[in-house]
Structure 1
Amino acid sequence: MTNPKTIAASYIDLWNERTPARRREILSQNWAKDARYVDPLMSGDGHDGVDALIAGVQQRFPDLKFKLIGEPNGYGDHVRFCWGLGPDGADSPIKGTDFAVLSDGRIRSITGFLDQVPAGA
């Protein structure tokens, strides 16, 4: 198994990457080509679909950044971690928990849960 901290950190780096070419590079290095992302609000398939989701979130929340909350953990090819989306240096108003399934050390799928979302977010 790949280290859960490494998987979670690269995932957060991907969501914070604002340069499309660099984001695509991170996807190609760390995600399977046919990877899938799903949460209660959106879903995407493959690098194109995941990249489009990330770009959309960045456009909607241009001044907010993702950060890890707590310690990622996992077993086998499964990783669980919590994240926050908010301004630098402040508590995150949006929080969630994601579950990753890996294949050959790459993210094969992410299932996301939204733990805290303020009204209107």
Structure 2
Amino acid sequence: MNDHRGNSAPPSPGADVGAIATLLSRNLPEVFGEGDAARRRAAIAELYTEDCVLYVPPGILVGREALDKFAGDLRATHPHCVYTPHGAPQVLHNSARLAWGSGPKGEAAEYTGVDFIVARDGKIAALYVFLDSPPA
């Protein structure tokens, strides 16, 4: 790739837009929506870096093991809920965001939020989870 002066420029670190969108799309059902612990751990190993960081309202968690525990605990407290994307992921360089809702299958969402990821080496290095305020 050449810049406007004709010099060779390195590709953007997030050049594979499709791969980053896929990471984000798979995260909801395969990590946070997965009730089977072995399948969830396999998905985390495939989708996340070993040193991944999860930023959620309760705090900051580091590493795949912490992510697995958080996702498993969340799943156990909301076993009837499914995560439904609201639209397609929006990718910008090495990051992406996706709005979603969660509630019983076929019913209105009980809560909504937006996931924002930062990708590194084809995996999720950081996940920021923004929860919307519940309706009054």
Deviation at 1:8, TM superposition (A): 2.0
Q: Over the residues paired in the alignment, what is the CA RMSD in angstroms?
A: 1.6
Aligned residues: 119
Bigger Cα displacement from structure 2, 29-38 vs 42-51: 42-51
Alignment partner of 1:49 is 2:84: no
Alignment partner of 1:97 is 2:123: no
Query: Which residue is equivalent to 1:106?
Result: 123
Distance in 2 (CA, whole Å) between partners of 1:43 and 1:118 is 26
In the superposition, the TM-score normalised over structure 1's length comes to 0.90
Deviation at 1:118, TM superposition (A): 5.8
Query: Which residue is equivalent to 2:25?
Result: 9
Gaps of 5+ in 2: 1-15
Query: Which residue is equivalent to 2:13?
Result: none
Give the letter aligned to residue 64 of structure 2: H
Give the letter aligned to residue 5 of structure 1: A
Bigger Cα displacement from structure 2, 45-54 vs 108-117: 108-117
Q: CA contact under 8 A between 2:35 and 2:79: conserved in structure 1? A: no
Structure 1 segment 18-29 matched on structure 2, within 5 A: 18-29=35-46
Q: CA contact under 8 A between 1:2 and 1:105: conserved in structure 2? A: no
Q: CA contact under 8 A between 1:42 and 1:53: conserved in structure 2? A: no
Q: Could you list the per-position Cα deviations for residues 20-59 of structure 1 after superposition, in whole angstroms to 9, with x for gaps in the alignment?
A: 1111110111100000111222432111000011111111
Give the letter aligned to residue 112 of structure 2: K
After superposition, the Cα gap between the structure-2 partners of 1:34 and 1:7, relative to the gap in structure 1 and judged at 3 Å, is same
Distance in 1 (CA, whole Å) between partners of 2:45 and 2:92 is 23
Which 4+ residue blocks in structure 1 deviate beyond 6 angstroms?
Answer: none
Distance in 2 (CA, whole Å) between partners of 1:2 and 1:46 is 24
